[in-house]
A and B are shown apart, each in its own frame.
Chain A
Amino acid sequence: MTNNGTPGGDVMVRVEGLRKSYGTVEAVRGVSLDVHRGQVVVVIGPSGCGKSTFLRCINLLETPSAGTLRVGDRTIDFGAGHTMPRGRDLARFRARIGMVFQQFDLFPHMTALGNVMSGPVIVKKMRESEAETIARDLLAKVGLANFTARFPRELSGGQQQRVAIARAMAMEPELMLFDEVTSALDPELVGEVLDVMKELALEGTTMIVVTHEMAFARDVADHVVVMDAGQVVEQGAAADVLLQPKNPRTASFLSRFHSTIGERKA
């Protein structure tokens, strides 16, 4: 899929000229990106390049300093007459976007089932019985049907992260954000989490994934964005960007992963 100026109804997320600075340090320096409905966009780049900050700007965990952001039918302008939502409005905006974090951040005082039910029950005020049905289905889907009564501390990192994905999915989000979700996992647990993400991608979930898993980017991404020093240095179809990068900075970054990218698709 191309990303350049494809207007129309199927653009799920449109980011234009997004900037985020902390004091004098500018972490995101004018990023523009379109994400179409059902598309999987993978954002790669060296650590500290601003990709996580960029992702956190999309559900407004960070307040951008400038630019515009559209998610679904909601456009937010961070310029002079900014329209940053607040309070309940902000909460509603975030409720439509699921996010999974590097450190899982499950609620330790709730079971796996309780974690997955938390969004529907607390935010959507859904009846507990109804939420429980949804939560059980989702936990079964991520392969944890037998772990519903476990507390996070009783689960492995990979299991916790799958619960976290189910928790985000329980809100039936229009868009899912994944922020280096396998970086904190032991290598042997990475696969089970990526498998769940692949399944979501195949089902047509709109996803923006920040990751260092190049094989995942190659196999699953519709569109790859390379960031460096707070800017997009290259973007395009996964095969083009990963295998024939045009930008020297992309090439140098990717050279570290060649063994991974070169592997045959399974």
Chain B
Amino acid sequence: MAYKWDFGLIFSYANFWAKGLGITLAYSVGTVLGGLIIGVICGMLLLYKRKWLTLPIHFYVELFRCTPLLVQIVWFYYALPIVLAVELPAWLAAGLGLTLYMGSFSTEIFRGGIISIDKGQWQAARALGMTNGEMMRHIILPQAIKRMVPPFVNQSIIQLKNTSLLYVVAVPDLMYTGSIVVSDTFRPLEVYTSVAAMYFAILYPLTLWASRMEAKVDQ
């Protein structure tokens, strides 16, 4: 018996999809920005080379890089409320997990970009009489940011995909919306195919743009 495709059903949930897509994009942008802020701050602090400062940051970075994001989200949702003795809404728990995850990678990207700058640049800037702030702002960061952008964009693309894990704590993102539509229509084939297509439609142009930019930085 041949399967009869019926995508018409999918479109009747347009409002639903729009909301799911909006939540996926909002979480992506929000957690990427949050992660960026964490990355800049922690990455900068790592440059100070004070053990009491760098040790906890390294601990944070490795903790989040070396545990699965799914475990982190579940932990934040179920375990953190017990630790803090406060009720944590799903959207916040999941957002916190995603942000800290992005932050750990951003920290490494930021630090890596800074320390990749040749030591001759630092000594030339210092020899001219620049303070650390002047050197960072005018000499090191302009060069380092160029190198940070491609890995950061790549990590952001991964982050957008990772937001689909919101599904497990019932935050109604694109993926969770799909599961609801399936339970309504009993049409998993059309629904999940559409979900995949929507992720692809957002991510493919982004990856193209990222690789174009990477080529430009390499020049």
User: Which residues of chain B have C-beta atoms less than 8 A from A44's C-beta?
Assistant: none
- Scan residues 87-135 of chain B and give those whose CB is less than 8 A from a CB of chain A: 118, 120-121, 123-132, 134
A94 touching B134 by the CB < 8 A rule? no
User: Beta-carbon contacts of A85-109 to B below 8 Å, as 1s and 0s?
Assistant: 0011001111111110101111111
Smallest beta-carbon distance B72→chain A, Å: 38
Q: Does B81 contact A (CB under 8 A)?
A: no
Q: Does A171 contact B (CB under 8 A)?
A: yes
Instruction: Indicate which residue in B118, B120, B128, B131 contacts A167 across the interface (CB closer than 8 Å).
Output: B128
In this complex, the interface size class of chain A, counting residues with CB under 8 Å from chain B, is 20 to 34
Q: Does B19 contact A (CB under 8 A)?
A: no
A91 touching B127 by the CB < 8 A rule? no
User: Which residues of chain A have C-beta atoms less than 8 A from B134's C-beta?
Assistant: 91, 122-123
Q: Does B139 contact A (CB under 8 A)?
A: yes
B124 touching A91 by the CB < 8 A rule? no
B128 touching A109 by the CB < 8 A rule? no
Q: Does A205 contact B (CB under 8 A)?
A: no
| Bound CA–CA A109/B139 (angstroms) | 8
- Scan residues 142-174 of chain B and give those whose CB is less than 8 A from a CB of chain A: 142-143
- Scan residues 101-124 of chain A and give those whose CB is less than 8 A from a CB of chain B: 101, 103-109, 118-119, 122-123
| Bound CA–CA A252/B121 (angstroms) | 36
| Bound CA–CA A61/B130 (angstroms) | 12
Instruction: Indicate which residue in B123, B129, B132, B142 contacts A109 across the interface (CB closer than 8 Å).
Output: B142
User: Which residues of chain B have C-beta atoms less than 8 A from A87's C-beta?
Assistant: 131-132
| Bound CA–CA A59/B123 (angstroms) | 11
Smallest beta-carbon distance A140→chain B, Å: 21
Closest to B129 in A: A95
| Bound CA–CA A237/B60 (angstroms) | 61
Instruction: Indicate which residue in A59, A93, A109, A123 contacts B143 across the interface (CB closer than 8 Å).
Output: A109
Smallest beta-carbon distance A94→chain B, Å: 5
Instruction: Indicate which residue in B127, B131, B139 contacts A107 across the interface (CB closer than 8 Å).
Output: B139
A105 touching B124 by the CB < 8 A rule? yes
A103 touching B131 by the CB < 8 A rule? no
Q: Does B138 contact A (CB under 8 A)?
A: yes
A105 touching B120 by the CB < 8 A rule? yes
Smallest beta-carbon distance A43→chain B, Å: 17
User: Beta-carbon contacts of A238-256 to B below 8 Å, as 1s and 0s?
Assistant: 0000000000000000000
Instruction: Indicate which residue in B127, B130, B142 contacts A59 across the interface (CB closer than 8 Å).
Output: B127
Smallest beta-carbon distance A88→chain B, Å: 6
B131 touching A88 by the CB < 8 A rule? yes
| Bound CA–CA A109/B157 (angstroms) | 28
| Bound CA–CA A107/B126 (angstroms) | 12
User: Which residues of chain A have C-beta atoms less than 8 A from B129's C-beta?
Assistant: 91-96, 119, 123, 171
User: Which residues of chain A have C-beta atoms less than 8 A from B138's C-beta?
Assistant: 118, 122
Closest to B134 in A: A122
| Bound CA–CA A73/B11 (angstroms) | 81
Q: Does A168 contact B (CB under 8 A)?
A: yes
B120 touching A95 by the CB < 8 A rule? no
User: Which residues of chain B have C-beta atoms less than 8 A from A98's C-beta?
Assistant: 127
User: Which residues of chain B have C-beta atoms less than 8 A from A94's C-beta?
Assistant: 126-129
Closest to B121 in A: A105
Closest to B138 in A: A122
| Bound CA–CA A119/B124 (angstroms) | 10
Smallest beta-carbon distance A60→chain B, Å: 9
| Bound CA–CA A96/B128 (angstroms) | 8
User: Which residues of chain B have C-beta atoms less than 8 A from A104's C-beta?
Assistant: 120
Instruction: Indicate which residue in B121, B123, B139, B142 contacts A61 across the interface (CB closer than 8 Å).
Output: B123
User: Which residues of chain B have C-beta atoms less than 8 A from A93's C-beta?
Assistant: 129
A101 touching B128 by the CB < 8 A rule? no
User: Which residues of chain B have C-beta atoms less than 8 A from A103's C-beta?
Assistant: 120
A168 touching B128 by the CB < 8 A rule? yes
Instruction: Indicate which residue in A88, A92, A99, A108 contacts B127 across the interface (CB closer than 8 Å).
Output: A99
Smallest beta-carbon distance A49→chain B, Å: 20
Question: 7 shortest A-B CB distances, which residue pairs?
Answer: A95-B129, A105-B120, A105-B124, A99-B127, A119-B128, A91-B131, A123-B129
A-B contact pairs, 15 of them (CB 8 A): A87-B131, A94-B126, A94-B127, A94-B128, A96-B129, A105-B120, A105-B121, A105-B123, A106-B124, A122-B130, A123-B128, A123-B134, A167-B128, A168-B127, A171-B129
Apart from the given pairs A61-B126, A95-B128, A123-B134, 9 other A-B contacts in the complex at a CB distance below 8 Å:
A92-B129, A94-B126, A107-B121, A107-B124, A107-B143, A118-B139, A122-B130, A123-B128, A171-B129
